[in-house]
Amino acid sequence: MCDGVSLLRSEIPQRLIRQFKLESRVVVRGEQAPEEIRFLRREGRPWLPAWHAGQLGIHAWGCRSRQEQGFPPGAWCHREHLEAGYWRHLQPEPVEIPANYVLDRGIWYVVRDGLRGVLLRRPRDVPRVYVLTEAASHYYHVMTRHDRMPVLLHERI
């Protein structure tokens, strides 16, 4: 589905890099390649960048365990479930997750603008962002061997 996203460092404001200590996440894939900042699900405190209410912010990504009661466990939200109203009690709001590359089952693939996501809220808790998913296209299924894929912004692969 989505195990992480990578965004060019130049696309993240310096104040967010400082605030969230993102320097440690900077990587380059080649000698001449630009710097990227990675947001991986497997990290201790998984975060995702997201555009919400006209602002780019860094948000907690999903919910790691059932012990964090109230939020659905996991990192992804089925589009069909959202549309059926299953998540209504968490006041879902749409967000856009900017990304240049997305990771799924060890495969990094290029995306044009990013992914669609949803921001969920609970009283007295920090909001959480989930990646919206849908049934995988044939191409995506062959590439990643996954039957779900993220909902991409402004494109379909």
Partner 1 sequence: MNIILGRMLIGFLDADCFYVSCERARLPHLMGQPVGVLSNQGACVIAKSYELKARGISTGMPIWKARPLCPEAVFVKRDFAWYEILSRRMADEVRQVSPAVEYYSIDELFFDASWLSRTFEAPLSEAAMRLRERIHSRVGVPVSVGVSRSRTLAKLAAKSVKPFGCRVLLDPEETKSFLHDCPVEEIAGIGWRSADKLHARQIRTVGNFAATDRHVICKLLTKKGEALWWELHGEPVLPLDTIRPPHKMVGRGGSLSGPTRDIERLRAWLVRNVERLVEALDRHGVVCETFSLSLRLESGHYIGDGTTLPEATAQFPRLLAAARDIFNRVYRSGDTVTHMHLNTERLSFRHAVQQSLLDRPSAQDIETARLKRLINKRVGRFAVRSGATLPLHDIYADPTNGHDICDIYGKLCF
Which of 130/140 has CB closer to partner 1? 140
User: Considering the complex, what minimum distance in angstroms separates the CB of residue 137 from partner 1?
Assistant: 7
Please state the closest distance from residue 48 (CB atom) to partner 1, in A: 19
The CB-of-6 to partner 1 minimum distance in angstroms stands at 9
Q: Whose Cβ is closer to partner 1: residue 33's or residue 126's?
A: 33
> In the complex, which residues of this chain contact partner 1 (CB under 8 A)?
8, 29-34, 100-101, 106-110, 112, 137-143, 156-157
The set of residues, in sequence order, having a beta carbon less than 8 Å from that of 71 and lying 6+ positions away, is: 62, 63, 90, 120, 122, 125, 128
Are the CB atoms for 98 and 51 separated by under 8 Å? yes
By beta-carbon proximity to partner 1, the closer residue of 86 and 101 is: 101
Nearer of residues 87 and 140 to partner 1, judged by Cβ: 140
Least spacing, CB of residue 139 vs partner 1, in Å: 4
